[in-house]
């Protein structure tokens, strides 16, 4: 490929600077070049071996700060003529030491060690090594014609099991793997998933005294098989209002939504000045799960009605037994019937 390599010299009072660059974009396809430059005078030689001809888009006419040979004035031959010997070489794929890469990319040192020294991609299994223990990733082996770039010994038939075991645990499973989540993450990415999107987050059985936890589907099975006798007609369908018959001493009854099979605990908290009623939904916080709003109303014996329209049914993994601070219907004591029965009308509708 026809590349231009400007050779520049800068004359300064104490000597001449010579530098070589390469006019090319810094993309890896261009390749890497190193150069050796030498100057001879009266049997003396000044040699500068550069590991890299800097790739630039435009030459600079400033005296270089690095990557140059300096020929001291005392070695110059008096005239303006400068005879140099230049050798530019294409760098073979060369593993860059970790310390050097760290400076270049500024990445985390631990993760750097887990990168292939040739392509800088994260090492994945299998990892190959030469007899001297140099490693490269499996996709680089054929590109290097199965020759170790560091020592030229054959590479690609000995696996580095120790390094493979280092790489392996950096892929972690979701904490909910044992209850069905198949997601795997690179270390550190899993907690975001567990908090915000895992649909296997363990849900706790809302029945007081029961310590069962499981995925949202398993919870529904558990609830039906263990506790269903508590309340029989507990199904409701999205958007239809239904009656919830409670006793203010009951504290909770549980409804199930027909399409999602999510459990909707209806809780009441009795206080001297009245009763709080709140509805929640036991489901993991994953984004695709349906969201619901609810309206709950209470009608007094003489026909007055108190209504609360909630913009959203709170999704929880576990019910709280604390008196709610928001998202509740409050029925003042004076509106309650004397017999402690509480007849509520509830309508849960999917949020579109
Ligand atoms: Zn590689
Ligand atoms: Zn080697
Ligand atoms: Zn998960
Ligand atoms: Zn239970």
- The pLDDT of 194-211, averaged and rounded, is 87
Residue 157: burial class (beta carbons within 10 Å; 0-12, 13-18, 19+): exposed
Write down the ipTM of this complex: 0.51
Q: Which domains are seen in the chain, by residue range?
A: 7-90 (no CATH), 98-169 (3.30.40.10), 203-350 (2.60.210.10)
pLDDT at 82 over 90: no
Closest ligand (CA of 144): 1
* pLDDT tens, residue by residue, 152-170: 899 999 999 888 887 766 6
Half-sphere exposure of 161 (CA within 13 A, CB side): 0
- Can you tell me the distance from the alpha carbon of 274 to that of 306, in angstroms, rounded to the nearest whole number? 13
198 C-alpha to center of ligand 3: Å?
A: 4
Instruction: Please tell me the distance from the alpha carbon of residue 24 to that of residue 44, in angstroms, as a whole number.
Output: 34
Residue pLDDT, tens place only, 32-61: 888 888 888 777 777 777 788 888 999 999
Contacts of 74 (CB under 8 A, 6+ apart): none
Edge-to-edge strands of the sheet including 292-299? 241-247, 341-350, 292-299, 305-310
Task: Give me the residues paired with residue 49 across strands.
Answer: 36
Ligand 4 mean position to 247 CA, how many Å?
21
Specify whether the CB–CB gap between 170 and 114 falls below 8 A. yes
Across the chain, mean pLDDT equals 82
Whole-number Å distance, alpha carbon 220 to ligand 3 midpoint, is 19
d(CA 265, CA 279): 6
- Cα 326–Cα 329–Cα 332 angle in degrees, nearest 5: 115
Distance of CA 309 to the CA centre of its chain: 37
Q: Is the pLDDT of residue 114 over 80?
A: no
Check residue 97 and give its pLDDT: 52
d(CA 265, CA 244): 11
Q: What is the average pLDDT across 188-216?
A: 84
Weakest mean pLDDT among 34-43, 147-156, 225-234: 225-234
Radius of gyration of the chain (CA): 37
pLDDT at 102: 46
Q: Which ligand ends up closest to the CA of 184?
A: 3
Q: What does the alpha-carbon distance between residue 21 and residue 58 come to, in Å, rounded to a whole number?
A: 10
Residues measured by CB to lie within 5 Å of ligand 2, the ion:
130, 132, 134, 148, 150-151, 153
Question: If we measure between CA atoms, which residue out of 330, 339, 215 comes closest to residue 276?
Answer: 330
The residue behind tokens 């030689």 is 45
Residue 11 in this model has a pLDDT that exceeds 90: no
């Amino acid at each position: 490929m026809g590349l231009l390599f400007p050779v520049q010299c800068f004359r300064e009072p104490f000597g001449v600077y010579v530098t070589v660059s390469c006019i090319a974009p810094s993309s890896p396809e261009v390749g890497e070049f190193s150069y050796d430059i030498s100057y001879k005078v009266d049997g003396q030689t000044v040699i500068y071996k550069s590991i890299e001809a800097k790739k630039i888009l435009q030459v600079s006419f400033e005296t270089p700060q690095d990557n140059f040979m300096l020929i001291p004035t005392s070695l110059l031959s008096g005239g303006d003529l400068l005879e140099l010997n230049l050798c530019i070489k294409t760098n073979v794929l060369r593993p860059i030491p970790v310390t050097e890469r760290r400076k270049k990319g500024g990445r985390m040192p631990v993760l750097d060690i887990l990168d292939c020294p040739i392509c800088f991609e994260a090492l994945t299994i299998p990892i190959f090594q030469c007899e001297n223990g140099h490693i490269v990733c499996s996709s680089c082996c054929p590109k290097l014609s199965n020759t170790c770039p560091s020592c030229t010994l054959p590479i690609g038939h000995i696996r580095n099991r120790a390094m493979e075991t280092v790489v392996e645990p950096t892929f972690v499973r979701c904490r909910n793997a044992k209850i069905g989540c198949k997601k795997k993450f690179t270390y550190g990415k899993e907690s975001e998933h567990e908090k915000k999107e895992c649909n296997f987050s363990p849900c706790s059985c809302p029945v007081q005294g029961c310590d069962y936890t499981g995925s949202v589907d398993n919870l529904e099975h558990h609830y039906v098989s263990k506790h269903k006798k508590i309340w029989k007609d507990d199904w409701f369908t999205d958007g239809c209002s239904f009656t919830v018959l409670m006793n203010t001493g009951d504290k909770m009854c549980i409804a199930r939504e027909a399409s999602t099979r999510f459990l909707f605990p209806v809780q009441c908290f009795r206080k001297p000045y009245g009763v709080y009623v709140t509805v929640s939904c036991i489901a993991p916080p994953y984004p695709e799960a349906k969201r619901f709003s609810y309206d709950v109303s209470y009608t007094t014996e003489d026909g007055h009605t108190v209504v609360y329209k909630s913009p959203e049914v709170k999704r929880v993994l576990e019910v709280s037994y604390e008196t709610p601070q928001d998202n509740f219907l409050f029925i003042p004591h004076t509106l309650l019937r004397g017999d402690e029965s509480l007849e509520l009308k509830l309508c849960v509708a999917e949020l579109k």
